[in-house]
Amino acid sequence: MRRSLLFIPGNNPAMLQNADVFESDAIIIDLEDAVSISEKDSARDLVRFYLKSTAENDLEIVIRINGLDSKYGLADLKAVVSDKIDTIMLPKAHAQDVKHLVEILSGLEKERGMKKKIGIIPIIELATSVLETEEIAKQARVSGLLLGAEDLTTDLGIERTKTGSEILFPRFQVIYACAANKIEAIDTPFTDTKDESGLSADCKTAAELGMNAKACIHPNQVETVNKYFSPSQKLIDWSLRVIEAQKKAEANGLGVFSLDGKMIDKPIIERAEKVLAKAAKFKIL
Amino acid sequence: MKIGIAGTLESNDVMMTVKESDTPKIVIESIVYDYFSKQIRDTIVSTLEEMNIKNVDVLCQDRGALDYAIKARLITAIERMEE
């Protein structure tokens, strides 16, 4: 369960060793776009030894590798796959790429005697991937999909705007594919790190549409993202009242009951339980 | 002469320059030299031993890097030297 995932450049020791102070629910150590071609080897070595030096904690560690069609992707996996990481983020993903990644991870985990099964977050950032979203979401180990609007709008040859009307369709594709497969829909980062009101508006839109979390490209975005992707106090209070009323109804042998004049049945109760689970996870209950 | 360089002079990082040499040599320049030069040297020596590298000249320009970064940058510099 996530609200915020913060990108950290893989070749930056100062950022890596402070990764756990930024209060994001996950960090994405980036070996792809944040690292120049000439520094791929250096970043890979740095991240490998950074991971060895860290103690396990609650922070989800995600590694964005280079594409498996590049000469770096497999080397990245060999360097980082260990019990110290939780998830691999796969750029420009298609269902076939995810299947290939699952095979490689299974082999490395077995070879290394790992306890953990590494998850996968494919990035939906090509028009062909958007059309294949549901198939990608269904693949083994996939725990969420990240919409990558920058590469996607480049692929489409259109301008990326702050209002995001151009990414409405891919946002819905990701949201519905994730909801149908009970995984997390992760929204594209807001790239203007100095525009606080723009970030708030973008978070509000994404959360209202049904995104569960959002990627951040700067530590100063984490607080706002966490706020918009956490259940509000009003929603938490309502959920508590629903569960309380449900207990009373159960005691009276009622399956359906009303609260504030509105009928409460199974889907509403499930919604309240999800809200409370998320609130408990993020210690805001 | 083979030479490999890795890392940066940014804060918390280290720049390692490794050259082929007839005799082993390690020079450390660090903003925390008085406190950590022995630890840095030990990390360099143990990393070279693990890689079975003997005759190299290492220049370590440290900007407060932790052990993992010193080790990683040294390994990258050696690998680049051998490319």
CA A198/CA B36 separation, integer angstroms: 45
Q: How confident is the model at residue A240 (pLDDT cuts 50, 70, 90)?
A: very high
CATH architecture for residues A4-228: Alpha-Beta Barrel (3.20)
Q: How many CB atoms lie within 10 A of CB A105?
A: 20
pLDDT score for A254: 81
The residues, ordered by sequence, that sit 6+ positions from A137 with a Cβ below 8 Å of its Cβ are A145, A177, A178, A180, A181, A183
Query: Which alpha helices (H) appear in chain A, and where do they start and end?
Result: 13-16, 40-53, 73-80, 95-111, 127-131, 133-138, 149-156, 168-180, 196-209, 222-228, 233-251, 266-281
Per-residue pLDDT tens over the stretch A142-180: 999 999 999 999 999 999 999 999 999 999 999 999 999
CA A139/CA B51 separation, integer angstroms: 40
Interchain contact A14–B (C-beta under 8 A) = yes
Query: Which alpha helices (H) appear in chain B, and where do they start and end?
Result: 33-50, 67-82
Nearest in space to A47 (alpha carbons), one of A22, A77, A87? A77
Q: Sort out which chain B residues have CB atoms less than 8 A from A42's CB and list them.
A: 6-7, 72-73, 76
Location of each CATH 3.20.20.60 domain in chain A:
4-228
Closest residue in chain A to residue B12, using alpha carbons only: A14
Distance from CA of B80 to the nearest CA of A (A): 9
DSSP string computed for A25-47: SEEEEESSTTS-GGGHHHHHHHH
pLDDT score for A111: 96
**Considering all CA atoms of chain B, what is the largest pairwise distance in Å, rounded to the nearest integer?**
35
Query: Which among B10, B12, B73 has the least Cβ separation from residue A17?
Result: B12
Average per-residue pLDDT in chain A? 95
For A19, list phi and psi in degrees, rounded to 5. -55, -35
What's the complex ipTM?
0.95
Domains of chain B: 3-82 (3.30.230.10)
Per-residue pLDDT tens over the stretch A38-83: 999 999 999 999 999 998 778 999 999 999 999 999 999 999 999 9
Q: How many A-B residue pairs are in contact by the CB < 8 A criterion?
A: 46
Interchain contact B44–A (C-beta under 8 A) = no
